Amino acid sequence: MTAPDRQTASDFIRDIINDDIRTGKYGGRVHTRFPPEPNGYLHIGHAKSICLNFGIAAECRGLCNLRFDDTNPAKEEDEYVRSIIEDVRWLGFDWQDRLFYASDYFEPMYDCAVQLIRAGKAYVDDLSADDIREYRGTLTRPGRDSPHRNRSVEENLDLFTRMRQGEFEDGSRVLRAKVDMASPNLNMRDPVMYRILHARHHRSGDNWCLYPMYDWAHGLEDSIEGITHSICTLEFEDHRPLYDWFLDQLGVYHPQQVEFARLNLSYTVMSKRKLLELVEQGQVTAWDDPRLPTISGLRRRGYTPEAIRDFCDRIGVAKTDSTIDIALLEHCIREDLNKRAPRFMAVLNPLRVVIDNYPHDRTEQLEAVNNPEDPAAGTREVPFSRVLYIERDDFREEPPPKFFRLAPGREVRLRYAYIIKCVGVTRDNHTGEVTELHCTYDPATRGGNTPDGRRVKGTIHWVSADHAVPAEVRLFDRLFTVEDPGVDDFRKSLNPGSLRVVTGYLEPGLAGAAPGIRVQFERLGYFCVDSKDWAPERPVFNRTVALRDSWARIEKQLP
Ligand code: ATP
Ligand code: MG
């Protein structure tokens, strides 16, 4: 095997793997896997693991499997399987013909369990779950042997067979590994290998009423698939001795487990249990709600696979837990969309502007640049007419210092159009609120030029009122108000203002924009046409991210 192509900076996992290639462990092979349990949708933390496993395989000309770790029928569903397949593919990774299901290995796993029983390394225990916990002891108190620990091989074989045949009730018996009740590592105190569960499995149906526990199943899955490096998150470090013990006792092919720190992100939660709770309790609309850190939520929000992969590259892989600032994720999508999102003008909080000296019946097409970052993107025409909308925020009756936009008697530049001057204000008789501005335009400033060299500092965006396309625009804020919503009851810190819906007025070029299209609304942020609520006659735009980049500022302050 040749040396890996290096695109990503090295890290301790890549170092281990490169050493193994060099020394010929596993014959120089590299074979990883991404093993999600189909009990929820994937989130950005999973993306880290996906990029790591598939990324390393690609760099080392190795292979990476997609494997569903579907050993718990109570919480798993086909919908999750489908969404996971879609998400991994969308992120840009390919498992070729290596899509596997742990449930397809139930039969060989069972045979291996019988092998351990025969070797006197596993026994059927009749203790209840509570008693097993009690007997297990604690970090300071050694465990005690179960009264059933020394059953004969024959009795164990008989009971285990009958467990499989459905003779016993849920929870009445388990199969345990006979390891060491005095081990300082609690995972080694005769861990449960099988439990009885009369539940329908999303794939194997009613074939089984006996289901393997994670620690027993996972190493076998890896072994069966010929995995070389079983990369998992840090909480499994204490389980590694057990992973090794099972494979050693069986004398089968033995992959190496390697642990890394999971991704934590500020202002959000990442556990599937918590995400499911938010979905089920209606705090968000679904698993793909654009406010969630799920892959499908990020996709709907307008994130690109490139930005997510870039993010995973930048955060790197380490052995100690840390929390990443969500501003870094936002920085990555901004950087990507800045390069490729075409610009448009849209007004989200409209104030009517009448250009008094512009003819009633006239419409001009003005040329606008599609993307200043990409000359190949060309230009487009934007209609200009007598009545416009500008953002309410771009006008102040009493402008504070350094306010360079529109105010009574002042001039401002309309992007790609003219310089206008505010000559009058109309207000609501009752509320006093400004309802309309009267302005004049200077025909000599077409395109925003000032041939006389006069200084006009402010430039604002606008749309022609008659031509604008109204659209539903969804503005998102962080889902939680605190940096670490995980510490307390996470529902208490939900941000009540995480979704604001407004009617926006868009440049007519956006009429009929297809679902998934990503654009920049000048000065307002990047937006994406919603792929779920979209209808040709009713455009819905999600704001992916605002323009102001707090990460750039944070980065400057970093040591
Ligand atoms: P959760 O804690 O969100 O329920 P999980 O670990 O139970 O996640 P799995 O479906 O078992 O979810 O995860 C599949 C793979 O993704 C595992 O290898 C797991 O280690 C990895 N993974 C899960 N969450 C993260 C994370 N936050 N950062 C990095 N990797 C993760
Ligand atoms: Mg898990």
- pLDDT digit string (tens) for 308-365? 999 999 999 999 988 999 999 999 999 999 999 999 999 999 999 999 999 999 999 9
Ligand 1 atom 4 nearest Cα: 272
Q: Are strands 434-442 and 419-427 parallel, antiparallel or unpaired?
A: antiparallel
- Identify whether the C-beta of residue 51 lies closer than 8 Å to the C-beta of residue 312: yes
Distance 77 CA to ligand 2 centre (A): 15
| Cα 486 to Cα 465: distance, rounded to the nearest angstrom | 46
Distance 39 CA to ligand 1 centre (A): 11
Ligand 1 atom 15 nearest Cα: 36
How does residue 538 score in pLDDT terms, banded at 50, 70 and 90?
A: confident
Q: Kindly report the pTM of this predicted structure.
A: 0.94
Residue ranges with strand state E in 82-134: 99-101, 122-125
Question: What token pair was written down for 136?
Answer: 């297990």
Which atom of ligand 1 approaches the CA of 37 most closely?
Answer: 10
Which one, of 407, 495, 520, lies nearest residue 457 by Cα?
Answer: 407
Instruction: Tabulate helix, strand, coil % of the chain (nearest 5).
Output: 35, 25, 40
pLDDT for the residue 487: 76
How does residue 7 score in pLDDT terms, banded at 50, 70 and 90?
A: low
Q: Could you tell me which residues come within 8 angstroms of residue 142 by beta carbon, excluding any fewer than 6 positions away?
A: 181, 182
Containing 111, the helix (H) or strand (E) segment is: helix 106-118
By annotation, the residues acting in catalysis are 37, 262, 272
| Cα 393 to Cα 389: distance, rounded to the nearest angstrom | 12
Residue at token pair 């990476």:
64
When the pLDDT of each residue in the chain is averaged and rounded to a whole number, the result is 95
Q: Kindly report, residue by residue over 374-428, the tens digit of the pLDDT.
A: 999 999 999 999 999 999 999 999 999 999 999 999 999 999 999 999 999 999 9
What residues does ligand 1 touch, defined as CB less than 6 Å away? 35-37, 45-46, 48-49, 232-233, 262-263, 270-272
Phi, psi of 122 (to 5 degrees): -150, 150
Instruction: Give the 3-state secondary structure of residue 366.
Output: strand
Q: Kindly report, residue by residue over 539-551, the tens digit of the pLDDT.
A: 999 999 999 876 6
For helices 240-250 and 214-224, angle between their N-to-C axes, nearest 10 degrees: 60
- State the alpha helices, DSSP H only, in 24-105: 44-59, 78-90
Question: What token pair was written down for 532?
Answer: 């779920």
Ligand 1 atom 1 nearest Cα: 271
Residues near ligand 2 ion, CB 5 Å cutoff: 37
Instruction: Give the 3-state secondary structure of residue 342.
Output: coil
Ligand 1 pocket test, pick from 233, 263, 278, 315 with the greatest ligand atom count within 8 Å of Cβ, gives: 233
